[in-house]
Amino acid sequence: MVVDTDDTMLFTYDMEVGDMHFVFDPAEQDVWVEGKKFTATPGMVDLVTTAQRLGFAVIGITGRSDAQKAASIENVTDVGYPGFTAANYYTKWPTGAQPSYISCATSSCTTVEFKAGTRRHLEQDLGYDVVLNVGDQWSDLQGGYADHTQKLPNPTYYLPSADLPGVHEPRLALAQPLHHEGGRLQRTRPGRRGHPEHRCGQEDHRRLLRRHR
């Protein structure tokens, strides 16, 4: 089983909302990572430990940098995920150290190329069968090399990433949200409040945040 880290194993909401106020700051993110401040995403410790108890190997693949690997492994271990080491927790490589098993269309790999290429390495080079791949972003799941995928909800942010050639990104649930009308759930039309194309004022954003907390 392959698992992502941010908002899959570790919950970043307090950093994204309480600290950054939805304006991502990589320097501040590094403070949180090195400080091992993240809590476990609800339900995920049970999922991972149950899989391990049943005999499945659980492998981490994250877009975090290699410089953050040690702190990330300590963080996931501290909040209850056992068994992660440098050997089974894959991060993005340092500049000039791209693994030979990763091939990318340009000099800069997309998240899909990195993660799918790493899963291909697990299956074709190391002999694993990835039975389940779990992540909160579509870029965690695209590119194949997994029997099954599980998309976790992320109400805080969406990270677009270029697909691999010939791979279509699943339609986002947000693209056609639902609303109550006439006692029934209806699809929200473009231009209507609640649709992604509708631009809310600051007070609308505050009401939405309060509703979803």
- CA–CA separation, 123 vs 129, rounded Å? 6
List per-residue pLDDT tens for the chain, 213 residues long.
Answer: 999 999 999 999 999 988 898 888 999 999 999 999 999 999 999 999 999 999 999 999 999 999 999 999 999 999 999 999 999 999 999 988 999 999 888 778 889 999 999 999 999 999 999 999 999 999 999 999 999 999 999 988 888 777 665 555 554 433 344 444 554 434 444 444 444 333 333 433 333 333 333
DSSP 183: T
| Cβ-contact 9, 48 below 8 angstroms | yes
pTM for the whole thing?
0.77
Crossing angle between the packed helical segments 26-34 and 69-78, to the nearest 10 degrees: 50
- CA–CA separation, 160 vs 26, rounded Å? 17
- CA–CA separation, 64 vs 89, rounded Å? 11
Domains within the chain, CATH numbers bracketed = 2-155 (3.40.50.1000), 174-212 (no CATH)
- CA–CA separation, 85 vs 157, rounded Å? 28
